[in-house]
Structures are given as C-alpha cells and as structure tokens.
C-alpha cells in the first residue's frame, strides 16, 4: 500500500509576506513576533498562524532590507 502524498499548492513564503507587509504598512516594523503573527493571519498574508520563532528569524532578515546596517551588527 502506498503512503498518501502531500499536495502543496504554492506554500506561502513567510519572508515575502513580511517584506510585503513592511513595505505597505511601515509601522508594523516595530511589532513583536506574537503581534506580527496575528497581523499576518488577519490580513490573509498567511493561511494559519506561523511559528513565533520562525517569524522572529524572518524579521531579522527583513529588517536588513530597510536598514542594511542592522544586518551588519
């Protein structure tokens, strides 16, 4: 018997979602991961709540887009 295959239709990219949110709503750059988790879900950037640790790592990467010196520190 074959194991069921998982079907993934264009999984959401958390980094792209955070970058889009930061460019559209700059005030969201100062939110905590738990707050950003709710915003991303409410505005339909993600289908369900993303992991807080994953969002925190994504925030570090996305912040370097707007402040390159932040990534050097």
Q: For the chain, 73 residues long, give each residue's pLDDT as a single digit of tens.
A: 555 554 444 456 888 889 989 999 999 999 999 999 999 888 888 877 888 899 999 999 888 877 767 655 5
Pair 46, 12: CB distance under 8 Å: yes
Runs of H (alpha helix) within 3-72:
14-24, 33-42, 52-66, 68-72
CA distance 51 to 49: 7
Please list, in sequence order, all residues whose beta carbon lies within 8 angstroms of the beta carbon of residue 33, skipping any fewer than 6 positions away. Answer: 52, 53, 55, 56, 59
């Amino acid at each position: 018997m074959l194991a069921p295959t998982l079907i993934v239709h264009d999984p959401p990219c958390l980094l792209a979602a955070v970058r889009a949110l930061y460019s559209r709503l700059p005030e969201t750059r100062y939110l905590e991961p738990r707050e950003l988790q709710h915003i991303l879900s409410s505005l339909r950037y993600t289908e369900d709540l993303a992991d807080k640790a994953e969002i925190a790592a994504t925030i570090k990467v996305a912040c370097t887009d707007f402040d390159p010196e932040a990534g050097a520190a």
